[in-house]
Amino acid sequence: MNTRINAAITAVGGYVPDTVLNNAKLEKMVDTSDEWITSRTGIKERRILEAGKATSDMAAMAIKNLLNNTGVNPDEIEVLIIATSTPDHQLAPTAPLAAQKAGLKNAWGFDFNAACSGFLYALSVAASLLESGRHKKVLLVGADKMSAIVNYEDRNTCVLFGDGAGAVLLEPSKDAGAVLDTVYRSDGNGVQFLSIPAGGSAEGTTEQTLLEKRHYVEQDGRTVFKNAINGMTATSMEVLEKCNFTTEDIDWVVPHQANLRIIDVVGEKLGIAKEKIKVNIQRYGNTTAATLPLCLWDFQNDFKPGDKLLLTAFGAGFTWGSTCIIWGGLRNNNKK
């Protein structure tokens, strides 16, 4: 008898800051233009968290949004995983802070860093905690305050990133909902093309690293662009094969929101119509680990029980991969 426990997404939540940094404002900050940014990235605006607030604050707001709209008792949450590249502190993990701020009294938690692939990687970990039978309610949050690590004098990176958080609740499936299968990859050679060089154990903080602004995101855009397309396309095809799906079987693609041109090319290579690909990059920019859950939050009303979703991402490291899920029935949700 099949006793496999499937993990399904049963609720979603999200939060983006009120402050909007649009392309017109960026034109006054660096040598760029709305036309240049839009044509190369598809981004029109991004959200910026206010001074004095941190990643844990956004994560807590996304969690509260999920809990308030679904009526889930916070005391029933057993585990909180936060996927982030911008923890509140280098030593203290962000998850316990977010749990305290969101009123999760009984949840143990930890951070998960795989850059822009963080939420996708952590989804497999969260699902495994349920599939093992050890837990019944696991919260997974993707949250990043990218404005804290972006150099607003560098027009090649500052136009790309924004702040935000998205949350999903995973529970044992009571219907067809399930996290089906995954294909994940990583390549340490990618560090030279996309990373924050200083501030870690490889290159500590010194007066020189501060003067050289080596504590901000640096990237080789062309190399990242090419690898993202190849990586997301290849792992998407692999995971479809593992699940015995064709591209025609997929109802929706939820891609990492890094660059609209990347999304378009990946869709073309997969042969999936644009109408099936969810995009909100124009409003939020690249929120790193938050892009996938924010898409799930934004477009939740489009997803029907039984729909087949393909999630795919690429990030610093390099890290990349794809996951297939069956959308289950969400708890009652009165979002917005």
Instruction: Tell me the per-residue pLDDT of 108-127, one tens digit each, with 9 for 90 and over.
Output: 999 999 999 999 999 999 99
135 is catalytic: no
Supply the pLDDT for residue 245: 97
Supply the pLDDT for residue 2: 53
Supply the pLDDT for residue 332: 72
The token pair at 90 is 């280098």
Produce one character per residue of 314-333: b if its CB has 16 or more CB atoms within 10 Å, e if not: bbbbbbbbbbbbbbbebeeb
Same fold for the pair 7-175 and 179-326 = yes
Among candidate residues 113, 116, 135, 227, the one labeled active-site is 116
d(CA 172, CA 180): 13
Instruction: Tell me the per-residue pLDDT of 10-43, one tens digit each, with 9 for 90 and over.
Output: 999 999 999 999 999 999 999 999 999 999 999 9
d(CA 171, CA 178): 10
- Judge whether residue 334 has pLDDT over 90: no
Q: How many C-alpha atoms does 143 have within 13 Å on its Cβ side? A: 32
Residue 191 three-state SS: helix
CATH number of 7-175: 3.40.47.10
Among candidate residues 215, 256, 324, 333, the one labeled active-site is 256
- Judge whether residue 333 has pLDDT over 80: no
When pLDDT is cut at 50, 70 and 90, the band that residue 331 belongs to is: confident
Q: What does the domain layout of the chain look like in residue ranges?
A: 7-175, 179-326
215 is catalytic: no
- Judge whether residue 3 has pLDDT over 80: no
Interval 52-61 mean pLDDT: 98
Instruction: Tell me the per-residue pLDDT of 226-250, one tens digit each, with 9 for 90 and over.
Output: 999 999 999 999 999 999 999 999 9
Instruction: Tell me the per-residue pLDDT of 274-327, one tens digit each, with 9 for 90 and over.
Output: 999 999 999 999 999 999 999 999 999 999 999 999 999 999 999 999 999 999
Instruction: Tell me the per-residue pLDDT of 167-221, one tens digit each, with 9 for 90 and over.
Output: 999 999 977 899 999 999 999 999 999 999 999 999 999 999 999 999 999 999 9
Pick the CATH number of 179-326 from 3.30.110.30, 3.40.50.10420, 3.40.47.10, 3.40.50.170: 3.40.47.10
When pLDDT is cut at 50, 70 and 90, the band that residue 335 belongs to is: very low
Q: pTM of the entire structure?
A: 0.95
256 is catalytic: yes
Among candidate residues 286, 295, 324, 333, the one labeled active-site is 286
DSSP string, 232-282: HHHHHHHHHHHTT--GGG-SEEEE--S-HHHHHHHHHHHT--GGGB---HH
Question: How far, in whole angstroms, is CA 45 from its chain's centroid?
Answer: 18
- Judge whether residue 1 has pLDDT over 70: no
When pLDDT is cut at 50, 70 and 90, the band that residue 336 belongs to is: very low
Average pLDDT along the chain: 95
